[in-house]
Amino acid sequence: MQTINIIKIEDGFKFSIMKFEFNNSSEIEILSDTTCHIPTNKGLIFFDTSVTIEGQSFETIEEWITELYK
What is the mean pLDDT of each successive set of 10 residues along the chain, which is 70 residues long?
A: 88 95 96 98 97 97 97
pTM: 0.92
Pairing of strands 52-53, 18-21: unpaired
Q: What is the pLDDT of residue 1?
A: 60
Q: Which domain holds residue 15?
A: 5-68
29 sits in the region (left: phi over 0; alpha: psi -120 to 50; else beta) called beta
Contacts of 21 (CB under 8 A, 6+ apart): 11, 12, 40, 41
What total number of domains does the chain contain?
1
**pLDDT in the model for residue 3:** 83
Bridge partners for 8 per DSSP? 13
